[in-house]
Structure 1
């Protein structure tokens, strides 16, 4: 089943209130509530565009795929790329414990990738 992965993307971007964020970017309160709760069965293209602009992401970042038992996909099927992988890394805590020299290298790498 394909679903919107807004809460996970907001979590990565350190947005604590996905509902408030969605309303702030121009999504109606009712629609924002449905999206956050996972009730939304469809989403408008202009909403995807607004969310992507605000989160600085691609539309594919907003979607995840959860296979069901009734419909098995081939291992090389493109939807398998959207299967959510658990990411329990606390980036802030990790950055606090990295040696200073490694942190500088990391910062330079991030700066270089941002310029590309």
Structure 2
């Protein structure tokens, strides 16, 4: 009887140890990181509008540094485009892989036809 209780206790401990292993959840999406910058000067451009084709959600952008991040992107081929007033829009084609970060830096050229209608103080 004492021997049976010891076996049951030992088996219980072994089951608990194996049950507490890492969760085998597989990551099925990737991330797109990038910076929008001026083609001529290399300075970053904040407040750019970032869109993807096919569309994706969760775009986070930094208004000062020009950095952006798109989370939870399904694997596949995407066209990432940046748009900003005073610049020609531009984009890059990228391939997103699950559980990986893909870089999509975008250089914008100044729009030579843009006329700033705001007056300086």
> TM-score normalized by structure 1?
0.25
Largest Rg, 1 or 2: 2
Higher helix share: 1
> TM-score normalized by structure 2?
0.24
Higher strand share: 2
